[in-house]
Amino acid sequence: MFPQELFDEIADWLFDDHPSLMALSCTSQCLRARSQALLFHELVLSPNTNSPSSYIPLLEMSPHILTYVRRLRIFAGDYSASSSPRKRRFVHQDNSLGRLIRAVPNVDAIELMKMFGLEAFTTIGSLLPIIASPTVCTLSLRTIFLRTPQSLFTLLSYFPSLSSLRLHSVHAIGMASPSLDGGNILLTEISISTGMISSPLGVSLFQSAASVWSSHLRSLIIESYSARDLFIISRVIPQLPNLVTLTFKRPMGDISHPDTQQRLAAEIPVFPLPKLRSLHLSLPGFTVSSWARWWLSHLTQAAAVSLEYLAVDLQYVDAPEMQHSVAAWKEVEIALMQLPKLKSVNMRMVEMKDTYE
């Protein structure tokens, strides 16, 4: 008889092949549990195709299967006056959602997607008490409209064990209040993207990062950032002394302007990053921009005593620029040799047009 670990590894190799996993789950008892755990690792709920009521027969026939669920994705959709009644009943009139949530006690990640329109505020308010969980560590919000920046912190309070917050195109209609309550949530990771950094919600979030979460935050991921965003970020990062991982992805077009780059280089001071171990940068115009090389040297100097892993995406427009970028990298290579703990450098050429969503 083969050890159970071998059967589990066979199923693990097929983690994204659902037809094969379904076949494995029917072959033998040795393969069933692991195959079902992979099949039901993520549960997607939406008013159109995967409504909560559609899972009730599974809950009644095989309740153990839902204990395998670790990630819950709730796609709500448009709550404007023109949306279908079925969407508006998703939370308000279908109590099967609450029943289903109670049957997935081991969820550690929740993603809320596409809640907008006039009734979205009411929907989110009704949904939160239902999905509130002491076990959720990761919360992702994608294309969500909130009433005010404080609404975000109210939302976070429903997940007392939360450590990772990921925001993509999340907006608040109202302005930030002078004092925002971050509650007892102690985030260790924040990911923020798509024009949010300079918004009232983004500014409020960074205020809390610099005050409430400053000693706990370990990872900061910035995606789709502008020059204005960099000025805001540069004031926050020095207040995060325990930052271990820092990522800048997809710089926006205004950073490529020479005047903007000169201003950034002149006005952003060198700030210390004494515990930073991993740095991932996307740099525009690495060839023609002395600022791009300055930004790289700026951050590597800031983490000179601790940096171990460096990844750089070099954006180029055409083949000649790519060749010059390789030559320019040699200048930086000499500086990198001065970093005593550096273990890995990964440089990747990325075409400019591929960096935008």
Beta bridge partners of 73: 44, 111
Neighbours of 27 (CB within 10 A): 10
pLDDT of residue 215: 85
Distance separating alpha carbons of residues 202 and 199, to the nearest angstrom:
5
Residue with the bigger pLDDT between 294 and 92: it is 294
Residue with the bigger pLDDT between 174 and 282: it is 282
Instruction: Tell me the pLDDT tens digit for each residue of 156-212.
Output: 889 999 999 999 988 887 665 555 555 677 899 999 986 788 888 888 888 888 888
Amino acid at 179: S
Please, which residues have CB within 8 angstroms of residue 311's CB and are 6 or more apart in sequence?
Answer: 278, 279, 280, 281, 345, 346, 347, 348
- On the question of pLDDT at 219 being above 90, the answer is yes
Residue with the bigger pLDDT between 355 and 114: it is 114
- The pTM score is 0.83
pLDDT of residue 18: 81
- Supply the DSSP symbol for 113: E
> Would you say how long the chain is, in residues?
357
Residue with the bigger pLDDT between 29 and 183: it is 29
- Supply the DSSP symbol for 216: T
Distance separating alpha carbons of residues 203 and 304, to the nearest angstrom:
29
Average pLDDT, the chain: 78
